[in-house]
Chains A and B, each alone.
Chain A
């Protein structure tokens, strides 16, 4: 009987771990949005051994620069990050990303606020690699005023700040569909099944079939051939969404590849250590219990 109980307790222990994992999931499911999904070909960075595709990061940066950054900032990112190891413009020749000519070029396209040290006047100057990406608007009021009352969120950690991460970004960008019949959407708002929200009050149809998702102020930002990729990749909406999602995933967690690589080493070490310790334990406890 006690053996059964011991087994039962062990099972409970495992169940506790499983429950811990499972519990965290429903806590996220605040709105009734559709579950975000990855592009059909998948994301190269997903899974314990996944890494970023540098070409995709470069294309993603282009989409971010030419489309997203018209309204969104990414102020936690420095220009030098683009040239650090694992980044879109990392070049082995330039271990110090501040020396990377592409990074210097990208930085110089932005004006950042500074102070003239001779006169004390507020001025702007071209950015250097050590500067952060500048804020798009002077303050949140200015951001709201320029965007129909909605404040475009900063994209630095957007993939960590949304359930589903890069999958969410991809699904949202490719997920715009026509407004379902029976749904009242205010002017300047757009329906998206992947947006978090609750449409009960705006829905006139069958109350049992409220459409999933919510509304947002951002109009569908992508359309085919909106940008011209330098590597000749065809700029379909799907391609641009996948590329910019990958770029934002990298931007949100730029050390992810190093983290996973370190993790593999740590686990191998711990497993070997466990083996040696287990052998010592067996030998030592032999005949003692």
Chain B
């Protein structure tokens, strides 16, 4: 925290010399060694460390892949296969990078749900939260452009579908689309600029991550009790306590990661992306990668194309203003008996949206059940299920959060972190 005085003492001559000129060792020491960490952090808090590992893995593997990749519409597909076949351990590097994107999103979703549940977006952490939302948005852009690079069928037709969304913006959509694609269709110019931007954006993400961590260290970490740090009793030094706990979380995460990379490397991808891109053949069913399915579902839920685009971007934009939508004074949903059930439903709704995004909108949700036509679609179809879930998604932020915050009677909040820990010990003994 900002009011935490620096305890770093340079010991060697070199350290003293450097400390007077560029106190970088002091910064690292104060941020990652002696930094006071709430004592009651649970394993949901290890995902911050996990995410920085994910970013580093993606950047390192990505730089190596870029050494062998060719951003040309006639060569890209084969250059990726050449990496898999002929580059030493190229299969490993490429599978780590491809599955790494999925792992990155899995971790970021957990990280965001954790922030949502424990109120990590509330004062004074609004800027911290907004920077996180910005990272998430940049991640989506980066992942989308990265998926285009192998120039398979899903790469190409996914790029066509998503870039064409921009064209639905009235008046200015057309020129922006041409500018974005670098021509009148997704072609060589599009691939080349996507490669350039896919290489650039991770470093932008890294920059925003630094701001994210800076903001975190100014306001201090939130914790499961959601109360501020009051005394030294409430904290432990980051190293070794948080480092070992984060380390354990990272190792378990890497185990999950390895299971995918080594034993089912293509399970999370779409088989069609191993077919070279062919503009003349459209895949039967164009779907994005799993982590974008909830947003894809929201896009398709709206009958109007431009309306769908607004809803899809709105689903992310609403996260940016979240700190001002929640009217409750209590941070942690542990002490919010009503809101936490709305939260559980919200998580289920998000998973449900992901499920719907992978289905054909016309397909029946329960096959064989009698149905009737409601406006523009069968009631028993994924179209209407998606619409119901989309409605809840937005209602959760725009109606439930402001309203429940005002009406709900929160449970008594502990006076301090140490008190919260003692109360939990007492409960464990009683149980």
Which residues of chain A have a CB within 8 Å of any CB of chain B?
A: 1-3, 5-6, 8-9, 12-13, 15-17, 19-21, 23-24, 26-28, 30-31, 48, 76, 81, 153, 156-157, 160-163, 196, 198, 252-255, 259-260, 262-264, 266-267, 270-271, 273-274, 277-278, 280-281, 284-285, 288-289
Contact = CB atoms under 8 A, between A and B. Distances in A.
B284 interface: yes
B395 interface: no
A215 B226 CA distance: 61
B182 interface: no
B344 interface: yes
Interface core residue of B39, B263, B265, B359 (most chain A CB under 10 Å) = B263
B247 A277 contact: yes
Contacts of A48: 263
Contacts of B427: 3
A259 B274 contact: no
Contact of B284 (A162, A196, A260): A196
Interface in B240-270: 240-241, 244-245, 247-248, 251-252, 254-256, 258-259, 261-263, 265-270
A134 to B, nearest CB: 15
Interface in B97-126: 102, 106, 109-110, 117
Given A5-B334, A260-B262, A160 B244 contact: no
Contacts of B283: 30
Contacts of B117: 9
Contacts, number: 133
B351 A288 contact: no
Chain B contact surface mostly: helix
Contacts of A20: 102, 106, 268, 290
Interface in B170-186: none
A285 B84 CA distance: 44
B271 interface: yes
Contact of B241 (A16, A277, A288): A288
Contacts of A259: 91-92, 95, 262, 265
A76 B379 CA distance: 48
B85 interface: yes
A74 to B, nearest CB: 11
Contacts of A288: 39, 236, 241
B358 A16 contact: no
Given A8-B344, A16-B110, A274 B255 contact: yes
Contacts of B40: 289
Contacts of B266: 160
B137 interface: no
B285 interface: yes
A274 B258 CA distance: 14
Nearest to B247: A277
Contact of A12 (B81, B244, B270, B347): B347
Interface residues of B, number: 64
Contacts of B252: 274
Given A20-B106, A160-B274, A263 B267 contact: no
Given A160-B271, A163-B271, A27 B255 contact: no
B285 A30 contact: yes
A119 B242 CA distance: 72
B136 interface: no
A61 to B, nearest CB: 17
6 contacts: A13-B110, A15-B351, A19-B351, A76-B81, A267-B258, A285-B241
A75 B64 CA distance: 25
B244 A284 contact: yes
B355 A19 contact: yes
Given A28-B270, A260-B262, A262-B262, A9 B359 contact: no
Given A16-B351, A20-B106, A30-B285, 6 more contacts: A5-B333, A5-B340, A24-B269, A27-B270, A263-B261, A267-B262
Contacts of B347: 12
A23 B44 CA distance: 23
Interface in B129-167: none
Contact of B81 (A3, A23, A156): A156
A153 B275 CA distance: 9
Given A19-B351, A48-B263, A157 B284 contact: no
Nearest to A164: B271
A70 B265 CA distance: 31
Given A9-B117, A19-B354, A24-B290, A281 B271 contact: no
A264 B262 CA distance: 8
Nearest to A264: B262
Contacts of B431: 3
B255 A270 contact: yes
Given A157-B274, A254-B85, A27 B251 contact: no
Contact of A270 (B254, B271, B285, B355): B254
A6 B114 CA distance: 11
A26 B270 CA distance: 11
A170 B266 CA distance: 19
A76 B251 contact: no
Interface in B29-70: 39-40, 42, 44
Contacts of A270: 251, 254-255, 258
B293 A23 contact: yes
Contacts of A15: 351
10 closest cross-chain pairs (CB), A and B? A263-B262, A161-B274, A30-B285, A30-B284, A160-B274, A27-B358, A2-B334, A274-B251, A255-B91, A157-B274
A167 to B, nearest CB: 12
B307 interface: no
A28 B267 contact: no
B378 to A, nearest CB: 16
Interface core residue of A21, A27, A48, A160 (most chain B CB under 10 Å) = A27
Contact of A278 (B248, B254, B262, B333): B248
A231 B351 CA distance: 53
B192 interface: no
Contact of A16 (B78, B106, B255, B274): B106
Contacts of A76: 78, 81-82, 85
